[in-house]
């Protein structure tokens, strides 16, 4: 690695698996100290044991505002400052279609996927302002935040709202030297994504291999994406290489949202069903 994040302190929410774990690992490899926030305590303990003193685990329910505030404070207490937050925690949320969705399921989806991102901005930005240093805020959006039809209604709406948060953050936070950008992954096979398609988390890796073989050639870059594809872009946004970049939403989808979507979303559902019947 090249030490792109040497001396920086970062928070990664949803950091015990998938995109969050890949990002935390890459941040540390590039020289950062990282607070890994999640609710999977056993995983958190084993990951920090493996990663060593440059990592800490903080149990954090990102649907709880007080927990996000405490996460920032705990990170600063341990590492002395904060430079980067990656608002990454998430799940599918309510899978209902528009004709069926109810307010309870929708509100829970928004709390997890959108409100947590807004509050991550709030408390990280307050810390950056107190330090007088500026900082980088990175949020995980989705291809479903750029186009309809990639996921269920609640998830799609929640991820579109992240784009709005990023743009409003430019208006309010850029004068303070605080940058806000989002990454919009395509379909990246993680344990959470596997569960979305009814595949047990323990089978996420073989399922990802199955999809790569079945669907990779349907993508513009001729392969499916990985968690590390997202982590590499997050590292750029966390680093000083992007110090004049704010307000962007970067698709990391192999080019899928740049062209007509075609049948890829339904192809994934069909492939998952086929996999589950084996």
Q: What 3-state class would DSSP assign to 56?
A: strand
For 16, the enclosing helix (H) or strand (E) is none
Of 174, 170, 181, 71, the closest CA to residue 127 belongs to 71
Q: What 3-state class would DSSP assign to 10?
A: strand
Instruction: Check 57, 123, 155, 275 and give the catalytic one.
Output: 155
Cα distance between residue 65 and residue 123, in whole Å: 9
Contacts of 176 (CB under 8 A, 6+ apart): 125, 128, 129, 134
Cα distance between residue 199 and residue 95, in whole Å: 15
Cα distance between residue 104 and residue 92, in whole Å: 15
* Residue positions counted in the chain: 278
275 is catalytic: no
Annotated catalytic residues are: 155
């Amino acid at each position: 690695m090249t030490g792109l994040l040497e001396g920086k302190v970062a928070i990664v929410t949803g950091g015990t698996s998938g995109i969050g774990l890949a990002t935390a690992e890459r941040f540390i490899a590039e020289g950062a100290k990282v607070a890994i926030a999640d609710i999977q305590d056993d995983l958190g303990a084993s990951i920090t044991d493996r990663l060593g003193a440059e990592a800490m685990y903080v149990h954090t329910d990102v649907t709880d505002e007080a927990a996000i505030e405490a996460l920032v404070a705990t990170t600063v207490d341990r590492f002395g400052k904060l430079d980067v937050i990656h608002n990454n925690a998430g799940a599918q949320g309510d899978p209902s279609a528009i004709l069926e969705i109810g307010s309870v399921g929708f509100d829970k989806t928004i709390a997890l996927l959108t409100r947590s991102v807004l509050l991550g901005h709030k408390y990280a930005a307050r810390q950056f302002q107190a330090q007088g240093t500026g900082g980088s805020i990175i949020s995980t959006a989705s291809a479903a935040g750029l186009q309809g039809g990639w996921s269920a209604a609640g998830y799609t709406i929640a991820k579109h709202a992240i784009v709005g948060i990023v743009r409003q953050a430019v208006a309010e936070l850029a004068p303070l030297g605080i940058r806000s950008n989002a990454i919009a992954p395509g379909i990246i096979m993680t344990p959470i994504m596997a569960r979305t398609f009814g595949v047990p988390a323990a089978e996420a890796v073989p399922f990802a291999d199955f999809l790569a073989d079945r669907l990779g050639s349907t993508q513009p870059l001729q392969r499916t994406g990985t968690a590390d594809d997202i982590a590499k872009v997050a590292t750029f946004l966390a680093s000083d290489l992007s110090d004049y970049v704010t307000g962007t939403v970067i698709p990391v989808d192999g080019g899928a949202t740049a062209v007509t979507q075609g049948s890829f979303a339904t192809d994934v559902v069909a492939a998952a069903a086929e996999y589950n019947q084996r």
